[in-house]
Amino acid sequence: MSYPSAGPAGPPQPAAGTASSGGQYPQPNVLGNHPVPGQRRNRGVLIGVVIAVVMAIAGLGIFWIVARSTGAGGFTWGMAFALVPVVPVIALYLWLDRYEPEPTRYIVFALCWGAFIATLVAIFINTEVARQLAETGAGGDRSAIFVAPPVEEFAKGAVILLLALVRRKEFDGIIDGLVYAGMVGVGFAFTENILYYGRIFSELSNEAGSDAGLRGVLVLFVLRGLMSPFAHPLFTSFTAIGIGIAVRHRSTAVRFLAPVVGFLAAVLAHAAWNASASWAEGTGFLVAYFLLMVPIFVGMVIFALVLRSREGKMIASRLYDYVRFGWLVAPEVPLIATMRGRKALRQNARRYGAQAEAAAKAFQQNATDLAYLRDKIVRQVIGPEALPEEKKLLDELRARRASVPFPPMPAAFPQAMPGPGPGGGAPGGGVQDQTGGGPPPGGYPAPQPGYPSGQPGYPAGQAGYPSGPPDQLGTPGGYGPYPPSQ
C-alpha cells in the first residue's frame, strides 16, 4: 500500500490503486463491541483512590520521620540534593523501555512504593534491629551489612512481584522487571538520600556552622548522588531478573526458584556494597567501588542492551508469523521491530499532523502487544484464555492500519529485516533488498494468508481457534495454533 510522500496536516489519504500494489486485505471476523461494565470502571476508580490515599499517608509519615530526624534545614537541603539524580536516572530507564512502554500509572506506583512504602518498612525494621543490637544513630556495621540488605531488597522487590502477578498478561519478562526495579530503586534512594544528607547537614551545622554542614552534604552527594546513583536500582535488578525469567517459563521449579535466586543475589550485592562502605575507608573504599560497583553496573548495562536488542528480534519473529497469516505484510515488520523503523514511521506520519502521528504510535504499540502475546502463546506460558485478547488485538490492528501513512520503503528502511523464511529473507521470500529485485518503491508485496501447511510444530488447525482471514490461495489461516504439547 502506498501513500503520497507529503501532504497537508490531517488524516492521511491513501493513493489510488492501493489494491494493485499491496493486494486486498482479507477481512477478519468481527466480534463486535464489548463495553466495559460500569461496575468494573467504578471498581477501578475506587482501587485507584484507595492506593493514592495510602501512598499519601505513607509519604506524609515517612517525610515526618525524616524531617524530625534531620531538622528543617537538613530536610530542605537533603530534598534539594536528593532530587538531582532522580530525573536523569528515570529517563534512562524509560529509554530502555521504548519497545513496549509500561503504563504511566504503574511507573508512578512503583516509584511511590520505593519512596514511601519500602522506606517506611525499612526504617522501622532497621531502627528496631539496631536498637536491639545496641547500635545507634544511622546504624552500626552489623545491622547495615546483615539486616538492612535483606529487609530493603524484600521491601523493594515485593512491588515487582506484585505487579508481575497483577499484570501477568502484560508483564512480558526481564525488561519490564528492570524498569520497575529502576523506579522502585530510584524512589527508595531519593527518600534515603534525604535522610543521609539531612543528618550530616544537621550534625556538622551544630558543630561548625551551616557552611560546614553544606560542605559535608556536597561530599556525601558526590559519593551517593554522582558515584552511585544507580546503587539501589542495581541491587533490585537481580530480583527483577529472577521474576522476569519466571514469567517466561512454564516450569514450576523455574517459576519458584528464579525469583528466590534473584533475591539472594540482590541481598549479596547489597551486603557487599554496605560492607565496603562500613569497613573500607579512603583508598580501600575506592578500590572496592571500582572492583565491585563499577563492574556490576557495566555488566548490567550491557545485559540490558543485549536484552533490548533480542527484544526487537523476538518482536520481528513473532510478527512474521502474522505475515504468514495475512494480517501484516513483511515490510511493515521493520517499522515496528526496529528503532530505526519505528522512528521513520513516526517521522513520516508527523508530516500529516498530530492525528496521523498518534495513529502510527498506536499501530506500533498494538503490533508490539500482539507480538508479546504471540510469544507467550508459542512458549505455552499462557493457554487458550489468550484467544479473545489475540482476536481483539488483531481486529484493532486491522482497524488502525488504514489511518497510518507508511513511508516509501527505500527511504525508510533500505533493507528489510531478515525473517525466518527460506534463504534468510522474509517469510515466503517476498521481501528482499531493494537493489536485489524486491518490490517497487512505495508498494508492498501481496500478503500471504494462511499458515504454510506441513510446518513442523504448527498443525493446520486446532479446536477452539476462530478462523482467521480467508486464504484465497488455500486453506483458511489461523490466529496462531499452539505447538504440540511437550
Note the pLDDT tens digit of each residue in 376-385: 888 888 878 8
More confident residue, 54 or 42: 54
Retrieve residue 266's grid coordinates. Answer: 540482590
- 311 pLDDT higher than 70: yes
DSSP 45-110: HHHHHHHHHHHHHHHHHHHHHHHHHHHHHHHHHHHHHHHTTHHHHHHHHHHHT-SSPPPHHHHHHH
In a domain, 10, yes or no: no
Residue whose grid cell is 505484510: 329
Least confident interval from 33-37, 394-398, 446-450: 446-450
Together in a domain, 195 and 331: no
Same-domain pairing of 96 and 239: yes
Judged against a pLDDT cut of 80, whether residue 59 lies above it is answered with: yes
| 331-377 tens-digit pLDDT | 899 999 998 999 999 999 999 999 999 999 999 999 999 999 998 88
Average of pLDDT values for 56-73? Answer: 93
Classify residue 110: in a domain, yes or no.
Answer: yes
What residues contact residue 363 under an 8 Å CB cut-off, 6+ apart?
A: 336, 345, 397, 400, 401, 404
CB 195 within 8 A of CB 70: yes
Residue 105 inside a domain? The answer is yes
pLDDT at 19 over 60: no
Name the helix (H) or strand (E) containing 235: helix 231-247
Same domain assignment for residues 220 and 91 = yes
Q: Residue 120, CB half-sphere, CA atoms under 13 Å: how many?
A: 16
Angle subtended by helix axes 339-350 and 354-379, to nearest 10? 150
Query: Both 320 and 223 in a single domain?
Result: no
Domain match, 251 and 337 both: no
Question: Which pLDDT tens digit goes with each residue over 407-447?
Answer: 876 544 444 444 444 333 333 333 333 333 333 334 333 43
pLDDT at site 408: 77
Residues 207 and 317 occupy one common structural domain: no
User: In whole angstroms, what is the distance from residue 199 CA to residue 193 CA?
Assistant: 10
Q: How many structural domains does the chain have? A: 2
Task: Share the mean pLDDT of the chain.
Answer: 77
Q: Do 97 and 140 share a structural domain?
A: yes
Could you tell me if 345 and 406 lie in one domain? yes
The reply to whether 441 falls in a domain is no
Instruction: Convert 223-233 to b/e letters by CB count within 10 Å (16 or more is b).
Output: ebbeebbbbbb
Do 44 and 101 lie in one domain? The reply is yes
Residues 325 and 270 in one domain: no
Q: Which residues, in sequence order, are bridge partners of residue 467?
A: 478
Residue 450 lies in a domain: no
- The answer to whether residues 102 and 248 belong to one domain is yes
Same domain, 275 and 327: no
Helix locations, 209-227, DSSP H: 210-221
More confidently predicted of 409 and 7: 409
Domain that holds residue 178: 39-279
Q: 219 near 197, Cβ under 8 Å?
A: no
Q: Report whether pLDDT(282) > 80.
A: no
Q: What stretch of H or E contains 201?
A: helix 174-208
- Is 306 inside any structural domain? no
First to last CA, the chain: 40
Residue at 83 is within a domain: yes
Amino acid at site 262:
G
Question: Averaged over 18-28, what is the pLDDT?
Answer: 40
Domain assignment present for residue 34? The answer is no
The pTM of this model reads: 0.74
**The domain boundary residue, chosen from 412, 433, 454:** 433
